[in-house]
Amino acid sequence: MIRTERSHILIANNYNTEDWELEDRIQEIINLAETANSEISGITQQKLKKPVRTYLGSGKLHEAKNQAIQEKVNLIIVDDELSPNQQRYLEDLFKIKVVDRTALILDIFANRAKSREGRLQVSLAQLEYLLPRLAGQWSHLERLGGGIGTRGPGETQIETDRRLVRSSIKKIKKDLLKIKISRSAQRSNRLKRAFNVSLVGYTNAGKSTLFNCLSKKNSISSRKLFSTLDTKTSKIYLSNEIRCTISDTVGFVNKLPTVLVDSFKATLEELKDSDLLLHVIDVSNNNFEKQIEVVDNLLEDLGLERNNMIYVFNKIDKLTNEDLNIFNNKIKYLAPEDHESVVNVSAIKSLNIDLLVNKILNQAESGYNINSAKVYY
């Protein structure tokens, strides 16, 4: 059983926040912390005009330190990626472990990865993250103990030097290459036999629930973030003549660590072989338009254009009639030229799933051609 850690969160507002509202940032970092099995005792946030060397101003930091002592926390979580110097400064100030957003997400992935490939990918990301932080990092980890931010390779590589870490990275990359070659051969055979559909989307959008609904399977579906790390594939029949494979992939998140994107790139590149992408969106989330943008930008970074994509607006059962009317008006704005590439569903209630299947079938029957859904922000 994973030990629950009591934590206090630090957030620098208007610093590296893009256009996300503070309330949305707070809710997402709380969700991430809870997924990592942390109990949140308090939050300190400060509005800054520009980044500061110590992440927050000294007054705010000492205020947070006093709160942390009163709350008897053993972990500080920071909602941004810290520089090595910032992390050492904060750990010296608080005298407890400090975990930034990147380390927190890496920890969740380390706990969720089940397959050998998934574990190797997470290990690679953790080592790449730790490499520039080796100076003084090991003494901090030895003093602060295990738990969130130190699971996976962090526990076994504390005494290593840069040479050994680089050697480990080289070996993991070699192992991942062998897995990639083997998987490519398997995928090549699969591609010859079926129409291939992949689910993509923001974490917790309901991809696994939709996968279960379409495939008639009962794989893990959780309200916690990143419930799916290892790609799952199942066969379904769209008609008597057309067979389809459907794959569930890892969810995306705002400010997804670059080391994780790089580590999982081989897995995510499989999306390029998909005949159709289903971009699953949680319409009950007030931030869903920004979540669409995050996913589309990451797909673009992977070299995937937004053609051959259907936008699946999920969880419509959570909307009131008034909310649904507002949402339907937004749909006209989001995809004004191509309603064939948009469908509203509730995977958990199996609402409009037949409409989605028909849209998939239409694309398969039309020679796998679909006009790009044009989404505007």
Over residues 198-245, the pLDDT tens digits come to: 999 998 899 989 999 998 876 555 555 555 556 778 888 887 777 888
Look up residue 122 and give its two tokens: 């997470």
Please say if the pLDDT value at position 186 is more than 90: no
How long a stretch of residues is the chain?
A: 377
What kind of fold does domain 194-365 have according to CATH? Rossmann fold (3.40.50)
Beta bridge partners of 12: 46
Look at residue 250 and tell me whether its pLDDT is greater than 90.
no
Query: Which pLDDT score is estimated for 229?
Result: 54
Tell whether the model's pLDDT for residue 140 goes beyond 60: no
The residue type of 49 is: K
Q: Which residue has the higher pLDDT, 141 or 58?
A: 58
pLDDT band at 141 (very low <50, low <70, confident <90, very high): very low
Instruction: Name the pLDDT band for 369 (thresholds 50, 70, 90).
Output: very low
Give the count of beta carbons closer than 10 Å to the beta carbon of residue 315.
23
Nearest-5° angle of CA 1, CA 262, CA 255?
A: 70
Kindly report the pTM of this predicted structure: 0.79
Is 90 exceeded by the pLDDT of residue 8?
yes
Query: What's the mean per-residue pLDDT of the chain?
Result: 81
Least confident of 20-24, 36-40, 74-78, 189-193: 189-193
pLDDT of residue 277: 92
DSSP 93-159: HHSSEEEEHHHHHHHHHHHH--SHHHHHHHHHHHHHHHGGG-TTHHHHHHHH-SSTTT-THHHHSTT
Q: Do domains 5-156 and 194-365 have the same CATH topology?
A: yes
pLDDT at 93: 96
Summarised one tens digit per residue, pLDDT across range 143-184 is 445 566 655 554 444 555 677 888 889 999 999 888 878 766
CA distance 214 to 281: 16
User: pLDDT value at position 235?
Assistant: 85
CATH number of 5-156: 3.40.50.11060
> What are the tens digits of pLDDT across the range 89-117?
999 999 999 999 999 999 988 887 778 88
Mean pLDDT, residues 348-355: 94
pLDDT of residue 98: 95
> What is the identity of the amino acid at 309?
M
Nearest to 177 by CA among 263, 257, 260, 106: 263
Helix segments in 134-275, DSSP class H: 137-144, 153-156, 162-191, 207-215, 258-263, 265-268
Measured N-to-C along each axis, helices 162-191 and 116-130 cross at an angle, to the nearest 10 degrees, of 140
Q: Place 279 in a pLDDT band, splitting at 50, 70 and 90.
A: very high
Contact, 29 vs 79, CB < 8 A? yes
> Exposed, middle or buried: residue 223 (CB in 10 Å: 0-12, 13-18, 19+)?
exposed
| Domain range summary for the chain, segments of one domain joined by + | 5-156, 194-365
Per-residue confidence (pLDDT) for residue 190, from 0 to 100:
54
Q: Which of 267, 270, 215, 203 shows the shortest CA–CA distance to 246?
A: 215
pLDDT at 222: 54
